[in-house]
A and B are shown apart, each in its own frame.
Chain A
Amino acid sequence: MSHDLSSISAAIYREARLLDQKSWKEWLLMYEEDAVYWAPGWLNEYDLVDDPDRQVSLIYHTNRGQLAERISRIQSRKSITALPLPRTVHVISNVHFLDEKQSPALVSASFVVHVFDPRTAREHCHFGHYEFLFSLSGESPTIASKKIILANDRIPTVVDFYSL
């Protein structure tokens, strides 16, 4: 089955909506079992971490189970970061193929996540770029990998999968 950019864009928007709605279960199912979820750190002003085994990332998961751990931590209602959970609004644009012919498809998008913390009435933004690898073999595109390049990496207090 061939996928055009619009079906992939729809998948990216859907992921964002599921995060904002806190529909964690459905969100997780968009990822493949062995999906890579990676928010690399920065080495300096210009260069990103590019070798997760020799450099430190903000988040580096190599299967869905590790994302499920993060979800369980929130759902247990024991994590202080989630009591209450911040409200988030993902705004995504500039979706385009980085490589159309490649399979899985390599897709880039820009993001801004507005975060409002009802605990403090404080708001801030995380922004940057996503790089997705989408598998196109099934009925709808599934995420084989998501790389989150966070441009503003002096982080206020907490950052987690729902605010990236």
Chain B
Amino acid sequence: MTSESAIGSLLIDRPQDGIFEVARRAFTDPEIFALEQKYIFEALWTFVGLETQIPRANDFLTTHIGSQPVLLTRKSDGSVGCFLNTCRHRGTIVCPFKHGRQKFHVCRYHGWAYDSDGRNTAVTEEADGQYPESFRDKNRDLIPVARLESYRGLIFASLSPSVPPLEEYLGQAAHFIDLIVDQSPVGQVEFVPGASSYTFDANWKLQFENGLDYYHFNSTHSSYVDILKNRAVSSNADLPREDSAERVGQGSFSFPHGHAVNWSIKQVSAYGRPLSNDQENLNRLTEQFGRDRVKWMLRQRNLTIFPSLQLIDISSSQLRTWRPLAPDKTEMTSHCIAPVGESAESRRMRIRGYEDFFNPSGLATSDDNVMYEYCQTGYVAEAGNTLGYLRGLGSDPVHDGPHANEVGITPDEYAFGAPTFGGETNFHAGYREWHRLLLNAGQKI
């Protein structure tokens, strides 16, 4: 059984001594996996969908919080509902469809019916059922999740009543959601139809790390980097540049609750971006939000919301979530996220960029997926803790500077370095939160 001291040694966190280590069994141990499911994935806020996926009354979609199936609906009063997707009669999945629109969800097993508000509207042949007296007073409605809130059209749910309010949970990481949503003339984001799902045979934390990992790009994706170079030669597109006074490099901000964002500043984009391609929208945005904000909208940003959401805004834009299936198996869901109301040309460019880069069929993500599996099999070696989280520890942590000021934030940690910096201290916030939650769990078991 996982003892408290076994949990304690999962993370050695002594940056002042130049040490930050995560134990290998954090990636392989089934008991830790079980704790993570219960005390992390089913205990925090989970992204469950976009408001624009269920715009009209009775629209619905199904997804998961941790391992638990949920049904997200647009209720009759226009608000959003989220319920455990399991029949009150004998537990059947009530709604087996990915998404759609229907007023009633009728359980196929014995026909109990529920409406979009989660209310039980019919118990089949109830009068003939010789139910005990007490049945009449029993609540038969679908069980709502404990908490449900939206931020800028992103809907989050939690099975735990004790999570902080969503805005508090997101904290200043929310500024980086704003930088995506504000690109829309109507302040809304949507998923481009055609989501995909895939699996890799590795621990979910490999995906968590990779979204924060700029260090791997040139080696893991060297074949893709070659392709980009070739394309840059063959294209004479007049791509927008950063101000020549701007120092190129890459950096990160870390926030409470384990969130972090990576960003980079390049003088010349190696490839175009949907936003930079739409001068009319750019002018409007500059007028509305000012130069600094638009500058940040055009910069590459990878946002990680702990524990299972990443929002990438690069040559295209992606919202991805993951669902751990086993210590060594993870299911990914990937969407192309886009500002509502962008031009048809920008949208086309966004889609092509997305297909080019992301998913197991793309030219970059496919390499990452294979890399995670190499890590997973490597972690089985009993070779002690790795040296994987030390880049960036050599300098004093920076807490102010032009970058944070421009975004208008005061992050817990701020790192910036050369274009080849590849700082790893931005992994620390997530691992500290992960460890804190597991230690709490250790006290409960």
Binding site for B on A (CB under 8 A): 39-45, 49, 52-60, 69-70, 72-74, 76, 78-81, 119-120, 122, 153-160
Distance (Å) between the CB of B92 and the closest chain A CB?
A: 18
Residues of chain B within 8 A of A73, CB atoms compared: 223-224, 226-227, 363
Contact status A160-B361, CB under 8 Å = yes
Residues of chain A within 8 A of B193, CB atoms compared: 43, 49, 54-56
**Closest 7 pairs between A and B when the two form their complex, measured CB to CB:** A56-B194, A41-B194, A78-B223, A79-B223, A58-B361, A155-B198, A73-B223
Q: C-beta contact mask, B336-360 vs A, less than 8 Å → 1, else 0?
A: 1000000010011001101100011
**Minimum CB distance partner of B191 in chain A:** A56
Q: How far is the CA of A73 from the CA of B366 in the complex (A)?
A: 12
Residues of chain A within 8 A of B373, CB atoms compared: 119-120, 157
Q: Given A58-B355, A72-B227, A76-B226, does the pair A155, B196 have CB atoms closer than 8 Å?
A: yes
B residues 152-191 in Cβ contact with A at 8 Å: none
Q: Given A42-B194, A45-B97, A56-B196, does the pair A120, B351 have CB atoms closer than 8 Å?
A: no
User: Is B437 engaged at the interface, CB distance under 8 Å to the other chain?
Assistant: no
Distance (Å) between the CB of A110 and the closest chain B CB?
A: 20
Q: How far is the CA of A70 from the CA of B226 in the complex (A)?
A: 11
Residues of chain B within 8 A of A41, CB atoms compared: 194-196
Distance (Å) between the CB of B102 and the closest chain A CB?
A: 13
B residues 361-405 in Cβ contact with A at 8 Å: 361, 363, 366-367, 369-371, 373-374, 377
Distance (Å) between the CB of B157 and the closest chain A CB?
A: 22
B residues 85-119 in Cβ contact with A at 8 Å: 97-100
User: Is B222 engaged at the interface, CB distance under 8 Å to the other chain?
Assistant: yes
Contact status B370-A81, CB under 8 Å = yes
Residues of chain B within 8 A of A43, CB atoms compared: 193-194
**Minimum CB distance partner of B359 in chain A:** A58
Distance (Å) between the CB of A87 and the closest chain B CB?
A: 16
**Central interface residue in B100, B361, B366, B377, by most chain A CB within 10 Å:** B361
Residues of chain A within 8 A of B427, CB atoms compared: none
Partner of B351, one of A39, A53, A155: A53
Residues of chain B within 8 A of A60, CB atoms compared: 352, 355
Residues of chain A within 8 A of B366, CB atoms compared: 79, 81, 157-160
Residues of chain A within 8 A of B360, CB atoms compared: 155-159
Q: How far is the CA of A78 from the CA of B331 in the complex (A)?
A: 26
Q: How far is the CA of A58 from the CA of B352 in the complex (A)?
A: 10
Residues of chain B within 8 A of A79, CB atoms compared: 223-224, 366-367
A-B contacts, 29 of them at CB < 8 A, read A41-B196, A44-B97, A54-B192, A54-B193, A55-B194, A56-B194, A56-B195, A56-B355, A58-B355, A59-B361, A60-B352, A69-B227, A70-B363, A72-B226, A72-B227, A73-B223, A80-B370, A119-B370, A120-B201, A154-B197, A155-B196, A156-B198, A156-B200, A157-B366, A157-B370, A157-B373, A158-B370, A159-B361, A159-B366
User: Is B220 engaged at the interface, CB distance under 8 Å to the other chain?
Assistant: yes
Contact status B355-A59, CB under 8 Å = yes
**Central interface residue in B196, B230, B374, by most chain A CB within 10 Å:** B196
Partner of A153, one of B196, B220, B355, B377: B196
**Minimum CB distance partner of B234 in chain A:** A65
Q: C-beta contact mask, B9-44 vs A, less than 8 Å → 1, else 0?
A: 000000000000000000000000000000000000
Distance (Å) between the CB of B293 and the closest chain A CB?
A: 28
Beyond A69-B227, A70-B363, A157-B200, 20 extra complex contacts between A and B, CB < 8 Å: A41-B196, A43-B193, A44-B97, A44-B100, A49-B193, A56-B194, A56-B351, A58-B361, A73-B223, A73-B227, A78-B223, A78-B226, A80-B220, A154-B197, A155-B198, A155-B199, A156-B201, A157-B199, A157-B369, A160-B366
Q: How far is the CA of A49 from the CA of B224 in the complex (A)?
A: 26
Contact status A155-B226, CB under 8 Å = no
Partner of B99, one of A44, A49, A78: A44
